[in-house]
């Protein structure tokens, strides 16, 4: 057997030889020349990092938190070490070194397979882990397939490709999953940027599950919070949380490949206003550029972009332009040359071969170089290039082709990034390239916009992307299966810390039927990123392209989205402060309910904490939906349904099955055509009666700037307390004055003949229907208590 063949033979982690207490935990040395670092980041977060005796840089693109002391007990016996925090117990067996995690009550959570544990095979490293029965797995971010990943395997290698129902890999890498046992949950984040693999018991005959990577270290974080929600909070504490988005980005976004001229784009924008169709955003795809050179305008087709964006502003709209990473090789001297190419080349800002020559790949612009976004100075330079777009009035920036994608797909493995001690090849950088491009875009445009929030959208991503950008799921297809799969994917992305997510509504590839277009638009209302997009040559996706009846239906959907903006913006505040996604997989709130993993129901999700959305294909006029425990009401009709069972419910194209929980608190406003319109100044707080207390954190700020970071925001706690017959609105906190001048409180299904008072004073209620009442509340930033007597 040759030496090379011998290196490919599996070798598992050896015996413990030495132990040393360190600042945040313990470091073990093994007899096969490895260091095993076990450290804490919180009582519920434990890091395991296995290196050689001379570890490399400990930098992470994903992790922003710092370690902290959390071990409360460290004890050694003849066979093992025992470590404890307030939440977790860890056992480290000595011969061989194997790691096991337990709940603080002693219940098993997860751990190494006794025989294999951590194993190397050439440059590859794997963690083989004990598989429990029953055990479910959820997460991994942008992945197709069912909610429960048990029995399936996946690859993380950001890839530019149109995709079908079970395609893998896709555009983004989220190496984070959760395991669900009979009574406990755990999470695990494998922070390794190389091409990685996850096998949740597929082809192992249920002996084990495993994950690994083609290179790098075995480096993972174990999460032991007692709920899925708690694990998500910890994971986003570790990897960061999203900033507040600009309010306008939560409105409807119209895109296509491409609006071929300034005149065509403005005609589309004016038609939205002419037809009273709510819309806040319109896009320029690559044809706005001069010969596909990024950071340029085509002077023939887009002769005056500033005048164009000024007109859009008058219409209450914002412009988003696409940006690709490839910088066209253009050494012409015309008008000073192509500055991004010239300055990038002069400063050595591009990825390069080992001989120092810049890597050249072909993309839309032809032969191009690719910036090295791993370097801070390159990110700063990239951010400065947006000045030409910002000067033109652009406020949104769409990062595409950043897997990175080049014709032929695979960049040669010898291409290098970084400088000095931080040099890495494309194998290590590939999965974070898009994330670092989005980072450079966000940091640069935030600076250039002088206090105003940019909207940044990316196709490729890695864990932690939520700090910089929204994400969409790339080039989908105009089919019912793809639509349904898309919502499973968005729910999975929410389970991986990325809240601001969406897909190409209507499908990018192919033409939807009118029925599919309408159904998909109805689902877009309940999608964090409501963005319609289609490919060149396809049927137009503007609402009027589908006939008058369908346009009327879609107008109603868009109006519903804009009425829900106070609720939706507050849900984004929850993402900003706690990491909870807007699209909440039912596994978050109903973790141990087996029905939610049934393939018939596993596309369902909560939109915020109170609204259950049941996606249904366009060819069905009735839907089989599962409603979890509790009482539920149809959002459109207020019809009551009991939970813990499935229902066949009407699902015409103009009425998507959406339900609200009993006890739901949903702040709304009147319908407007743009977020720039303040509306009628009335905040409408809808409350659905139920037996249990509920609460909701209501949030406002100016929706445009970062002044909320200095305390210029408004927060009010809304509390429904049926046991005391009260609804409470707390006094406002923060320095922002609400844009709403009145509050209308609207109660659904409250006791008949109940009498009401506000802050102790009797008030008359208005009956909007048999089961819906309303009362106007005084304009006040002080606390308000509504009391009723049945």
Whole-number Cα distances in Å, 760 to 140, 720, 781, 787: 51, 17, 17, 8
Distance CA 766, CA 744 (A): 11
Candidate list 475, 542, 602, 701, residue with the active-site label: 475
- Per DSSP, the three-state class of 474 is coil
Distance CA 86, CA 460 (A): 37
Nearest CA to 288 out of 321, 319, 317 is that of 321
- Per DSSP, the three-state class of 100 is strand
Candidate list 403, 589, 602, 702, residue with the active-site label: 403
- Per DSSP, the three-state class of 757 is strand
For residue 324, indicate whether it is catalytic: no
Phi (first) and psi of residue 786, to 5 degrees? -100, 125
Distance CA 640, CA 655 (A): 16
- Per DSSP, the three-state class of 205 is coil
Nearest CA to 747 out of 683, 687, 669, 665 is that of 687
Nearest CA to 322 out of 118, 511, 536, 175 is that of 536
Distance CA 149, CA 498 (A): 19
Exposure b/e, 205-244, CB count within 10 A at least 16 = b: eeebbbbbbbbbbbbbbbbbbbebbbbbbbbbbbbbbbbb
Local structure of residue 635 (DSSP, 8 states): T
Distance CA 246, CA 554 (A): 24
For residue 16, list its beta bridge partners: 30
Straight-line distance from the first to the last Cα atom of the chain, in angstroms, rounded to the nearest whole number: 85
Distance CA 171, CA 633 (A): 37
Local structure of residue 206 (DSSP, 8 states): T
Whole-number Cα distances in Å, 528 to 255, 592, 618, 715: 16, 26, 21, 21
Cα 116 from chain centre: 34
| 682-688 and 25-30 strand pairing | unpaired
For residue 475, indicate whether it is catalytic: yes
Candidate list 113, 324, 400, 701, residue with the active-site label: 400
Cα 165 from chain centre: 20
Other Cβ atoms less than 10 A from the Cβ of 528: the count is 27
Nearest CA to 581 out of 665, 668, 491, 505 is that of 491
For residue 253, list its beta bridge partners: 281, 531
* Torsion angle of C-alpha atoms 643, 645, 650, 656, degrees rounded to 10: 60
For residue 400, indicate whether it is catalytic: yes
| 318-323 and 281-284 strand pairing | parallel
104 contact partners, CB below 8 Å, separation of at least 6: 84, 85, 86, 87, 88, 89
* Torsion angle of C-alpha atoms 457, 461, 466, 469, degrees rounded to 10: -20
Nearest CA to 463 out of 214, 187, 225 is that of 187
- Per DSSP, the three-state class of 638 is coil
User: Catalytic residue numbers?
Assistant: 400, 403, 475
């Amino acid at each position: 057997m040759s030496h090379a063949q011998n290196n490919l033979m599996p070798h598992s982690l050896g015996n413990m030889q030495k132990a040393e207490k360190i600042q945040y935990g313990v470091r073990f040395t093994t007899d096969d020349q490895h260091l095993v670092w076990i450290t804490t980041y919180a009582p519920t977060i434990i890091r395991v990092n296995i290196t050689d005796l001379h570890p490399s840089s400990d930098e992470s693109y994903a992790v922003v938190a710092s370690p902290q002391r959390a071990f409360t007990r460290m004890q050694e016996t003849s066979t093992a070490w025992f470590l404890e925090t307030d939440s977790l117990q860890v056992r480290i067996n000595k011969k061989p070194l194997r790691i096991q995690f337990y709940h603080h009550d002693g219940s098993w959570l997860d751990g190494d397979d006794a025989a294999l544990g951590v194993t190397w095979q050439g440059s590859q490293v794997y963690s083989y882990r004990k598989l429990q029965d029953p055990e479910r797995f959820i997460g991994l971010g942008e992945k197709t397939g069912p909610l429960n990943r048990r029995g399936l395997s996946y690859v993380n290698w950001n890839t530019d490709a149109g995709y079908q129902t079970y395609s893998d890999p896709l555009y983004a890498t989220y190496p984070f999953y959760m395991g669900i046992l009979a009574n406990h949950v755990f999470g695990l984040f494998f922070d390794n940027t190389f091409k990685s693999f996850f096998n949740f018991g597929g082809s192992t005959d249920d002996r084990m599950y495993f994950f690994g990577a083609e290179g790098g270290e075995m480096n993972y974080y174990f999460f032991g919070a007692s709920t899925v929600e708690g694990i998500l909070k910890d994971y986003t504490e570790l990897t960061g949380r999203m900033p507040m988005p600009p309010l306008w980005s939560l409105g409807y976004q119209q895109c296509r490949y491409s609006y071929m001229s300034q005149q065509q784009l403005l005609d589309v924008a004016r038609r939205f206003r002419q037809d009273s169709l709510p819309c806040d955003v319109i896009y320029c795809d690559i044809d706005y550029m001069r010969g596909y050179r990024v950071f340029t305008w085509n002077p023939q087709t887009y002769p005056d972009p500033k005048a164009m964006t000024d007109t859009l502003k008058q219409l209450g709209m914002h412009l988003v332009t696409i940006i690709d990473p490839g910088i066209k090789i253009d050494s012409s001297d015309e008008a000073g040359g192509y500055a991004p190419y010239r300055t990038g080349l002069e400063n050595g800002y591009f990825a390069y071969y080992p001989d120092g020559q810049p890597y050249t790949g072909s993309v839309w612009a032809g032969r191009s170089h690719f910036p090295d976004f791993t370097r801070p100075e390159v990110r700063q330079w990239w951010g400065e290039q947006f000045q030409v777009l910002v000067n033109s009035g652009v406020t949104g920036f769409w990062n595409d082709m950043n897997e990175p994608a080049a014709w032929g797909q695979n960049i040669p493995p010898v291409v290098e990034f970084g400088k000095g001690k931080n040099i890495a090849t494309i194998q290590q950088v590939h999965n974070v390239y898009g994330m670092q491009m989005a980072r450079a875009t966000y940091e640069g445009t935030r600076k250039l916009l002088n206090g105003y929030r940019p909207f940044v959208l990316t196709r490729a991503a890695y864990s932690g992307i939520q700090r910089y950008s929204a994400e969409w799921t790339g080039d989908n297809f105009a089919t019912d299966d793809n639509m349904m799969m898309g919502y499973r994917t968005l729910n999975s992305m929410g389970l991986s810390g990325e809240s601001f997510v969406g897909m190409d509504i209507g499908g990018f590839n192919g033409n939807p039927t009118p029925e599919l277009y309408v159904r998909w638009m109805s689902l877009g209302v309940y999608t964090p990123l409501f963005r319609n997009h289609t490919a060149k040559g396809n049927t137009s996706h503007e609402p009027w392209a589908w006939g008058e009846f369908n346009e009327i239906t879609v107008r109603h959907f868009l109006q519903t989205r804009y009425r829900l903006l106070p609720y939706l913006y507050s849900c984004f505040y929850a993402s900003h402060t706690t990491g909870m996604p807007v699209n909440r997989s039912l596994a978050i709130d109903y973790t141990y309910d087996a029905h939610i993993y049934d393939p018939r129901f596993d596309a369902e999700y909560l939109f915020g904490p109170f609204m259950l959305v049941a996606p249904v294909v366009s060819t069905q006029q009735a839907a089989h939906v599962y409603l979890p425990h509790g009482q539920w009401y149809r959002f459109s009709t207020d019809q009551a349904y009991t939970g813990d069972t499935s229902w066949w419910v009407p699902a015409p194209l103009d009425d998507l099955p959406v339900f609200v929980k009993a006890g739901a608190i949903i702040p709304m406003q009147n319908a407007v055509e743009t977020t720039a319109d303040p509306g009628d100044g009335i905040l409408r707080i809808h409350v659905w009666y139920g037996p249990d207390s509920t609460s909701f954190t209501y949030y406002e700020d100016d929706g445009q700037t970062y002044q909320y970071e200095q305390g210029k925001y408004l927060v009010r706690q809304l509390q429904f307390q049926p046991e005391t017959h009260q609804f409470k609105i707390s006094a406002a906190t923060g320095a922002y004055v609400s844009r709403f001048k009145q509050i209308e409180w609207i109660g659904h299904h409250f006791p008949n003949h109940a009498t009401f008072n506000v802050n102790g004073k009797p008030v008359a209620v208005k009956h909007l229907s048999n089961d819906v009442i309303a009362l106007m509340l005084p304009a006040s930033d002080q606390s308000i208590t509504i009391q009723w007597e049945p």
